[in-house]
Amino acid sequence: MQQQTQHILEKVVLENSNNFYSLSAQMIQLEVVQQAVAHLMDRIDEIVHKGWDKDRGMAYCAINEIKDTLRLIDMAFFPLFKEMSEEINTINIHAQELYDTVIEGTEQTSKVTTGEAEIQSV
C-alpha cells in the first residue's frame, strides 16, 4: 500500500513539474502577444497623432494594417489560451489526486492506528 502511494505521489509530482515548465514557456509566449498588443496601440496613437485618421486613403491603409495585426495577435492568443487552460485543468486534476492520496491516506492511516489502539486497550 505504501509503495503504491509513493508511486502515485512521484508520478503526480513529475507530471506537475512538466505542466509547470509548459506553463512557464506559455507565459513567455503570452508576453510576446502582450508586446504585440502594446506595439499595435503605439501604432494607433502614431496614426492619430499624424492625422492619418482624417485622410480617407491613409485611414484605409491604417485600418488594413490594424486589421492584419489584430488577426495575427488573435491567431497567436487563442491557441495559447486554449493550451494554458488545458494545462491548468491538468494541474487541478493532479492537485486533487495529491489531496486524495495524501490527506485521505493520512486519515485512513490514523483510523487504522486508532482502531489498533482501541483493540489493544480492550
Is 93 contained in some domain?
Answer: yes
**What's the domain count of the chain?**
1
pTM: 0.66
Is 121 contained in some domain?
Answer: no
Is 36 contained in some domain?
Answer: yes
Q: What is the pLDDT of residues 29-64, one digit of tens each?
A: 999 999 999 999 999 999 999 999 899 999 999 999
Is 119 contained in some domain?
Answer: no
Is 122 contained in some domain?
Answer: no
Q: What is the pLDDT of residues 78-115, one digit of tens each?
A: 999 999 999 999 888 888 888 888 777 766 666 656 66
DSSP 54: G
For the chain, counts of helices (H) and of strands (E): 3, 0
The whole domain housing 26 covers 2-114
Is 120 contained in some domain?
Answer: no
